[in-house]
């Protein structure tokens, strides 16, 4: 099955800095790569996703890049703010195959200091 590795496990930055979280996946059949943000005591919420036919996607201060050959994808947050502090999860799945579920990385706790 799919295996998703995520680094770093914790990331501390100053407000205004950029933050980068990296993930690798093992199953070449995976073609959908979402990122979720989970604030303390809340549910994971989708913040951005990318499909394997696209190399990069941007939404305001967040962007995701995908390298299919190397099987890795990254989340970039620019101009970080204290409200960006949360646990971020990457995930991968082969959408619409018979065994499609999201496999999650172990999460990155991002702390943004004012």
Binding site for other proteins (CB under 8 A): 32, 34, 38, 42-46, 49, 87, 89, 93-104, 106-107, 109
To other proteins, the closest distance from the beta carbon of 94 in angstroms equals 7
Residue 18 or 97 with smaller CB distance to other proteins: 97
- Closest approach of other proteins to the CB of residue 75, in Å: 16
Burial track 28-48 (b if 16+ CB lie within 10 A, e otherwise): eebbbbbbbbeeeeeebeebb
Between 64 and 102, name the residue whose CB sits nearer to other proteins: 102
Phi, psi of 82 (to 5 degrees): -55, -35
Please state the closest distance from residue 24 (CB atom) to other proteins, in A.
Answer: 17
Residue among 62 and 88 whose Cβ is closer to other proteins: 88
Question: DSSP state, 25?
Answer: E
**C-alpha dihedral over 29, 32, 35, 40, to 10 degrees?**
-80
Nearest distance, CB of residue 30 and other proteins, angstroms: 9
Residues 76, 19 contacting (CB under 8 angstroms): yes
């Amino acid at each position: 099955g799919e295996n998703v590795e995520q680094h770093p496990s914790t990331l501390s930055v100053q407000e205004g800095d950029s933050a980068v979280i990296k993930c690798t996946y093992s199953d070449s059949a995976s073609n959908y790569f979402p990122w979720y943000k989970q604030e303390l005591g809340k549910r994971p919420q989708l913040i951005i996703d990318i499909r394997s036919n696209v190399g990069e996607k941007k939404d305001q201060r967040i962007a995701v890049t995908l390298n299919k050959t190397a099987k890795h994808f990254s989340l970039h947050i620019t101009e970080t703010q204290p409200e960006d502090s949360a646990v971020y999860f990457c995930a991968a799945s082969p959408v619409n195959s018979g065994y499609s579920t999201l496999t999650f990385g172990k999460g990155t706790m991002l702390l943004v200091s004012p």
